[in-house]
Structure 1
């Protein structure tokens, strides 16, 4: 696992289930015991990495991006409740800026 794996994923994404089951059989442990052992080792490291990451400019940019996307999704849902699914993208960009005021569904709004 690399640095960003601790930030963006779960360690379980890095193994194949069939291979894991074979190794667990070899070690004579069940999967729950395996996860408890791994979590005991990884949790302190993951907390340290997360703490360090939160001090970076990259983290701040990530949070800004998440906020923009959340606002976009909320606006998209509200718009599409009124005008139909898939229509928002023809009118607005991800920042909520109107890009197509001539779109037919918007005519009653802007006249």
Structure 2
């Protein structure tokens, strides 16, 4: 039992070539009377021509003797396009139901794959090596590298400055398009961090002062350890809910929460 791979000519290639260009695309619209814009990307221009119009018909052949005569039997497995192999690889499982093919032949899937790949691996290596020398492949890898770097830069930037902020300032090539907006985003971020530092500094100061008062000590003695743990959980939930940066108020609700904390002596 052996594998036969027959090269067949196609009238035309079924696959489209990669685009030759990657360009910046600016999205703009008006929302609530304010202009909103951000930069994205798209593939454009002509596509590369794919001149090779070949496919490969894979089949299994078996020779045997019956009544002193040599007979042959064959099973069709699948047909693979040249560019499919070049781009996606020669994966048998992607092109046919290998389980049913093996069952029809009367062998296991593993045995069938071993027979096929002894020949198919060599063909795949040859085709991929040829394709990787083409301008289409080199251009595709160049675009892929640009987009991968863009995704990394965007992720790092937005981890610090917030969701959807990168595309408002930079394009896919990493070029700064809106310097004034970038400056505003950075100043806004620093102002937020300063408010955060100031709040926690005051909060810590108030906590330390109150923890030394006779009132605090008197309250502390009214609860056992188990009760205090429960009140601590309640306080943490309230503090997260009514933090001024969350509800955007003047801090009045947080003052009430802190007063409860003092009264509970936790």
Give the alignment's TM-score, normalised by structure 1: 0.75
Q: Which runs of 4+ in 1 moved over 6 A?
A: none
By percentage of residues, which structure has more helix? 1
**Residue in 2 that maps onto 1:13:** 94
Matched, 1:32 2:148: no
Task: Extract unaligned runs of 5+ from structure 2.
Answer: 1-79, 189-266
Aligned length: 107
For residue 106 of structure 1, report the CA deviation from its aligned partner: 5.4
Q: 1: distance between equivalents of 2:116 and 2:178?
A: 52
- Say what the alpha-carbon RMSD is for the aligned residues: 2.5
**8 Å contact 1:101–1:110 — kept in the other structure?**
no
For residue 86 of structure 1, report the CA deviation from its aligned partner: 4.0
**Residue in 2 that maps onto 1:94:** 172
After superposition, the C-alpha distances for 1:25-71 in whole angstroms (9 at most, x for unaligned) are: 11122222222222212111111111111221112112211211121
Q: 1: distance between equivalents of 2:110 and 2:183?
A: 55
For residue 107 of structure 1, report the CA deviation from its aligned partner: 1.1
Q: 1: distance between equivalents of 2:160 and 2:103?
A: 56
Q: 1: distance between equivalents of 2:114 and 2:164?
A: 44
Larger radius of gyration: 2
Q: 1: distance between equivalents of 2:164 and 2:185?
A: 18
